[in-house]
Chains A and B, each alone.
Chain A
Amino acid sequence: MSNSELFTEQLVEFWMNKAVEWGQAETPTVQFDVALHLAKLRSFLQDVLQKLHATSSTKEMMERFPFIGQLLGRLCWNPLVTADEESRGRLLRCLCCMYSAQPQGAVELKANQWIRNLLSHFCTEDDSDTTRAILKNIGCTPREYHLEVMKNMVACLVKDVMSTSCHAVHGLELCSCDRFYSISLFSIPLVTCPEAAPLISALLQCPAACARAILSKDFLEAVSEALLSKKLVVKETAVVALWCQSVTSLESATLHLLQSVLSIPEPFPQELEKQVTDSLLPRASALHCPLFLVVNDIFRTMLLGSDTNVALRALLQTFTRCFLRIRGQMELQEKLLLKAFFPHTSQAMITLLLKLPSEVPEEAWPARLLRISRSVQMEVEGEAGHGTRWRRNVFESWFLLLQCGDWVDVAAQVLVTSGEEACATLMWLLAFYYLPADNGQQRTQALAIAKEAFNHLKVLFSTAAPPLEHLQALVELMSTQSSHPAITRLVLQLTVNFAAFSPELPDFAAQFFHRVKVRCGLTCQPLALLAGIEHRVNGCAILGRLRTIKDIFQ
């Protein structure tokens, strides 16, 4: 590429050829080609626009890119290109940029004239006499008129799509369901146009069940992108229909949720729940088992990469909670058995864990928790030999526990008032939740520290004037320099639960928490834990207590 040229000869030739080719006819084949190259065209136009801004004059631009006028002109006249929002915007801006405010010489004057002609033609090009007559006598703007025409076209197409009743299997006679493919092709540039949303919806939920009623892949991708960037808004049923037709779009949606959640280190439950519900993934998963399995697989893969990520755990917990709630509201005959959704776990575990604590009476919690803990313990410590199958079982049990993290939260609460025997079992459950792998005795160590902390806490919250060394020891345990972050969190969780659920909040509490805040640098974590408890419980007394503790940390 010579210094004076802006783009390589091949690139220019490529786009000129494309522009000519696309201008020949507006057939589905051409539209397919346009859809294929749309992303590249957009970035090419962006390049052109940037280079235009960088050059000092139109004359210079035309010397370095001689065919620019022709190319822009051809593309401007092609509705397959101008229907796309980004391409249209960039094309117009290129033209406007090329207009010289102070033209020097004949070339720039001619360019100015050409641009003015082109733009004024857009105002009235191919308007029939009838259209002009209507505009003149009725008094609506050209924009309103063309908008109404477009809306009417959309309505006609929607009616046609929704009135198909082609069965899945039919004889050798041809049905006309292959028209949906071409409709979807021509709708690709319109996915971000709000007036076209009814058509997009109708295509996604098309009632034809025959094998020829398929939609273009590029269309499905474009819809998925538009949904994620919020440029398209359709009903829930349409989104679910999209996901059922295209696994890629489901994966994109899940990754999008993950990205937005994982960007917050300590997500609060209310906002997280709203984010998860708004993503429509729990509902879609509850209605369609295959969707759930795909989403779960993605979560599983993420987990294998980073198991101490607080945000990811919170997400898993929230997702499963929303999922179970929605299932609870479904009609009995609509529901598949839970075993279909969790094929890798035993029925026993499913029955124990996959019921929200809110659906079990509080008195039954301790007994249930003990059974849970013992079942998990059996999975982990039971089988002789530590082969691949054992490792997988342990991972799946842990994964399920993470998903049903609501029970772990409840365990921490029950610990506050439980006896010695139960305490050991529940403590094991907590330790396993935070540190499932026992490499280098990590979990055993965590368990020991947790027991120590628990003892300190028991003493501190049951006497009026506790000995100071318990206080200091506890703070020491929580300071992050000395231990694994997971252990710190475990101890913090125990502390927060003791503070919230002990019969009385002792006077030293304020001082103590202040010390924790300053010495260990923990503010976000306790607040998140408190928010979690708040989200879960009812009752003014407990909420009042939580507020008091929150004030200390803020």
Chain B
Amino acid sequence: MTWFVITLEVLLSCVWWRTDGTVSRVSCTHMETVLRDLEAVVQLLAAARTHFVSCWDATAVRRALQWARYCERLHARFHSDLEVRHALEQLLQEVGRCLGGQVLTLPELAQCEGLLIQSLLRNPAVPHEVTKELLGMGTGTCCAGQMACQHSALPYLEELIQYKAAAQLLSHPLQSILGPAAPMDPETQIQGKMVRQRLDSLLQESDPEWRSQDFLDSILRDCGEDRCFSLMLAAAALSAPPGSDGGRKDVVGIIVDWLLGNRSQLLRFCRDIPSALLVDLAERSSSFREAYCSVLEDWGHSLRYNVLEALWVPDSDCAVSFDTLVDRWQSLLRSPSLREGSERLLLEMKLADGDFDVTGLSVWSDVLAWLRK
């Protein structure tokens, strides 16, 4: 309890310029100030979710918003500076432990203002005058009339609603333009692009493979069963400019490595993504091509011939249908660079099965027969 009271006093007595001044070059003493400030903000955010807010007043909430915005500026300034970032991450871990396990991650610092506003709106312990102040209509405010007060949550809320509404509005004409068969909607494209940009910057750091794997694992954890995860990963891989520079790992390589290390994700990926995009990716990465072909091979082997219906049927829930298999191979054969290799592979597999031209004996000969029609 005591740490909170101290924090509040520190905040309320804080000199105005710190929240308003620009963040300049980092020096030793400056670093200390930055770390101290960050600690205060994290505690502030935590306090916003507890019953301690019941002793806040209008000034406190205004100051809190200013601190949150300052914190966002800190993040913008320092997240690309490796040393400082390590220090910040360590501090966040430490403070989180002190607060009883609620760790704020560094990327979440960029959303300080939003998190604060959300916490205050959801916390029933917040006094009514404080919420009124948060909404820009407190008794002491300068402009309860026309313009949204800069020191309230209104500008944030308004902008958020604006862009969301605009995106929703534009999605209607886009749907009819892109059509139902379109592989990727604009939102997934942007998500992919953001992931790629992040991977690009991770590649510049030390130990990039571990960091990127960790990053992708973390996103997977947070996405859960959302189908869009695979699409987003594909968008990230395909948005990278084609052609890697020599032996250095690039984003496509990182993503493929991650997929190869995660068999279930690879299967999910191959199933969820439309074949045209998979072919695109196979053209860019030979290791993916191999993995993809091996998945197709597995799928083929999990089909059983039903003599009564004269059809190939999947023998388990995770296998795909015969038609899907044919479709995938067809897309591969359409690609100029992959056609030869894929056709050769199919012939080899047919040969291994006995090279029969009768339906029902080897799935590969039937696939080839369909493709040749």
- Evaluate contact between B166 and A83: CB separation under 8 angstroms: yes
B interface secondary structure, majority: helix
CB distance from B17 to the nearest CB of A (A): 24
Give A110-155 interface residues, CB cut-off 8 Å to B.
112, 116, 119-120, 122-124, 128-143, 145-150, 152-154
In the complex, the answer to whether A152 meets B189 with C-beta atoms within 8 Å is yes
Complex interface: chain A residues within 8 A of B168 (CB): 26, 79, 83
Identify 24 residue pairs between A and B in the complex whose beta-carbon atoms are under 8 Å apart, listed by A's number: A27-B172, A88-B158, A99-B128, A116-B131, A119-B135, A122-B160, A123-B117, A129-B224, A129-B228, A133-B221, A134-B194, A137-B198, A138-B194, A139-B106, A139-B109, A143-B114, A146-B163, A146-B167, A148-B193, A152-B189, A187-B169, A189-B165, A190-B169, A193-B166
Whether A179 touches B219, Cβ cut-off 8 Å, given contacts A120-B121, A148-B194, is no
A149 with B222, Cβ < 8 A, contacts A92-B154, A139-B106, A154-B170 known: no
Q: Which among A92, A95, A123 is the interface contact of B118 at CB below 8 angstroms?
A: A123
- The residues of A that contact B171 with a CB separation of less than 8 Å are 153
CB within 8 Å of B: which A425-448 residues: none
Q: Which of A124, A134, A190 has the most CB of B within 10 A?
A: A134
User: Among the listed stretches A100-108, A311-319, A451-459, A503-511, which one makes contact with chain B, having 4 or more residues with CB under 8 Å of it?
Assistant: A100-108
Query: What separation, in Å, do the CA atoms of A96 and B72 have in the docked complex?
Result: 25
Does B94 have its Cβ within 8 Å of any Cβ on chain A? no
Chain B residues near A85: list those with CB within 8 A. 162
Whole-angstrom distance between the Cβ of A175 and the nearest chain B Cβ:
13
Residues of B within 8 A of A147 (CB): 163
**Contact: A157 with B72, CB < 8 Å?**
no
Give 1 or 0 for each of A246-258: 1 = CB within 8 Å of chain B CB.
Answer: 0000000000000
Residues from chain B with a CB closer than 8 A to the CB of A31 are: 172
Q: Is the Cβ of B162 less than 8 Å from the Cβ of A193?
A: yes
A82 in contact (CB, < 8 A): yes
Partner of A123, one of B105, B114, B187, B222: B114
Q: Determine, out of B21-29, B46-54, B136-144, the stretch whose residues face the partner at the interface.
A: B136-144
A101 touches B166 (CB 8 A): no
Check B170 against A150 for contact (C-beta < 8 Å).
yes
Kindly list chain B residues whose C-beta atoms are within 8 Å of the C-beta of A310.
none
- Which B141-197 residues have a C-beta within 8 angstroms of A? 144-145, 148, 154, 156-174, 176-178, 186-187, 189-191, 193-195
* CB pair A141 B72 closer than 8 Å: yes
Chain B min CB distance to A108 (Å): 9
8 A-B pairs closest in CB distance: A139-B107, A133-B222, A146-B163, A96-B135, A79-B165, A120-B121, A83-B165, A101-B132
Cα-based distance from A26 to B144 in the complex (angstroms): 33
Given A102-B129, A120-B118, A140-B194, A150–B163 Cβ distance below 8 Å? yes
Contact B174 A153 (CB under 8 A): yes
A99-B137, A101-B132 in contact; A26/B172 too (CB < 8 A)? yes
**CB contact under 8 A between A124 and B158, given known A139-B106, A179-B173:** no
Known: A120-B122, A129-B223, A141-B114. A186 touches B170 (CB 8 A): yes
Identify which of A123, A134, A153 contacts B121 (C-beta below 8 A): A123
* In-complex Cβ contact of A153 among B79, B137, B170 (8 A): B170
For the complex formed, measure the closest distance between the CB of B84 and the CB atoms of chain A, giving whole angstroms: 14
**B108–A139 CB distance below 8 A:** yes
In angstroms, Cα B247 to Cα A449, docked, is 94
A141 & B111 in contact (Cβ 8 Å cutoff)? yes
Question: B residues within 8 Å of A by Cβ?
Answer: 72, 75, 79, 105-111, 113-114, 117-118, 121-122, 128-129, 131-132, 135-139, 144-145, 148, 154, 156-174, 176-178, 186-187, 189-191, 193-195, 198, 215, 218-219, 221-226, 228-229, 232
Q: Within the complex, what minimum Cβ distance (angstroms) separates A202 from chain B?
A: 12
Max chain A C-beta neighbours (<10 A), residue from B108, B132, B193: B132
Residue of B nearest to A125 (CB): B164
A472 to chain B, nearest CB (A): 58
- Are A123 and B131 within 8 A (Cβ)? no
Give the number of chain A interface residues (Cβ < 8 Å): 68
Chain B nearest CB, measured from A547 CB (Å): 45
Contacts A102-B129, A116-B131, A150-B170; A79 near B118 (Cβ below 8 A): no
- Residues from chain A with a CB closer than 8 A to the CB of B167 are 146, 149-150, 153
Which residue of the partner chain, among A28, A83, A137, A160, contacts B162 with CB atoms under 8 Å?
A83
Instruction: Please tell me if the beta carbons of B186 and A102 are within 8 angstroms of each other in the complex.
Output: no
B137:A149 contact, CB within 8 angstroms: no
Is A518 at the interface (CB under 8 A from chain B)? no
Query: Measured between C-beta atoms, what is the minimum distance from A28 to chain B in Å?
Result: 8
- Min Cβ gap A156→B in Å is 5
Inter-subunit contact B218/A140 (CB<8 Å): no
Q: Find out whether the CB atom of B164 lies under 8 angstroms from the CB atom of A92.
A: no
Pick the contact of B186 from A79, A101, A149 — CB < 8 Å? A149
| B160–A97 CB distance below 8 A | no
Q: A102-B129, A120-B122, A123-B160 are in contact. Are A134 and B195 (CB under 8 A)?
A: yes
In the complex formed, the residue of A with least CB distance to B223 is: A133
State in angstroms the CA–CA spacing of A134 and B107 once bound together.
Answer: 10
CB contacts (< 8 Å) of A142 on chain B: these are: 111, 114, 160
**Minimum CB distance partner of B154 in chain A:** A92
A27 contacts across to B, CB distance below 8 A: 172
Given contacts A89-B148, A92-B157, A186-B170, 4 further A-B contacts (CB under 8 A): A96-B132, A116-B121, A136-B108, A139-B75
Within 8 A of B (CB), among A184-234: 186-187, 189-190, 193, 195-196, 199
Residues from chain B with a CB closer than 8 A to the CB of A179 are: 173, 176-177
B160 — which chain A residues lie within 8 A by C-beta? 122-123, 142-143, 146
Does A183 count as interface, using CB distance less than 8 angstroms?
Answer: yes
Query: In the complex, what distance in Å separates the CA atom of A79 from the CA atom of B131?
Result: 25
Which one, A53, A79, A138, contacts B169 given CB within 8 A? A79
Residues on the A chain within 8 Å of B158, using CB: 88-89, 92
Q: Is there an interface contact between B187 and A103, defined as CB atoms closer than 8 Å?
A: no
With A26-B172, A186-B173 as known contacts, state yes or no: A140 contacts B110, CB within 8 Å.
yes
Answer whether residue A525 sits at the interface, using C-beta atoms and an 8 A cutoff.
no
CB distance from B174 to the nearest CB of A (A): 6
Asked if B132 and A128 make an inter-chain contact with CB atoms under 8 angstroms apart, the answer reads no
| A182 and B111 contact, CB distance less than 8 A | no
Inter-chain contacts of A135 with B (CB < 8 A): 107, 111
Is residue A475 within 8 Å, beta carbon to beta carbon, of the partner chain?
no
